[in-house]
Structure 1
Amino acid sequence: MTSEQVAQDAMQIILHAGEARKYCTDALKDIEKSDFAAAKEKMKLANSEIVIAHRVQTNCIQKETEGEQGEYSVLFAHAQDTLMTVYSEINLAKRLIEIFESFNERLTQLEKINK
């Protein structure tokens, strides 16, 4: 792979991981408003973007395993770091939806009991 191709792939990973992060952040804002349906929709969009970023990375790795040597790139290393960080953010946001949905249900039931 040429250094230009490595840079293009890195930018694609960063672009799609960045979009996934944006949707994830928007989902967290929806959680704050107890709008869990909207949060789940945003997480679906985040997942779609992270899958695209992951495919680009996987294609690069496959090329290298097939003998197509690429040059080391700080930009590509940054892209991979961004990808993995956003994966973690997505996993945490999904878990937060579950936690806050459960909390909200329990709170609603307590409010019914106390009426």
Structure 2
Amino acid sequence: MTRLRDIAKLIRTKNAGPFQLTLDIMFPDARSYAHVVDSGVINPAAMAAFFKVDASKVRLFNYAPGNAIKVTVPRLVTSGDPADTDLFGGQQFGPLVDLEVPPLDP
């Protein structure tokens, strides 16, 4: 298997307001974008498990013109809360880079 980091050009998380977190996965071209979308590895259930939220709260957007996938989930802790360890939400993507994706055909 290939890892998401091997195919994507950019993987990042950031706040989408104090109560939401957004994940951006951008690809270098339409072929790699379509491959990951068609593989189905990025889906609401998988993202819910990854971010430890209810699947009904996951919003997933495939944006072909930008070769990008956007996922929005509720933050487990409100940004700025004393228990928040990532004020800007920029560190939440880390383990997702190892998500296994079927290899791209040469």
Q: TM-score range by the shorter chain?
A: under 0.3
Greater per-residue strand proportion: 2
TM-score, L = length of structure 2: 0.25
Higher helix share: 1
Q: TM-score, normalised by structure 1?
A: 0.23
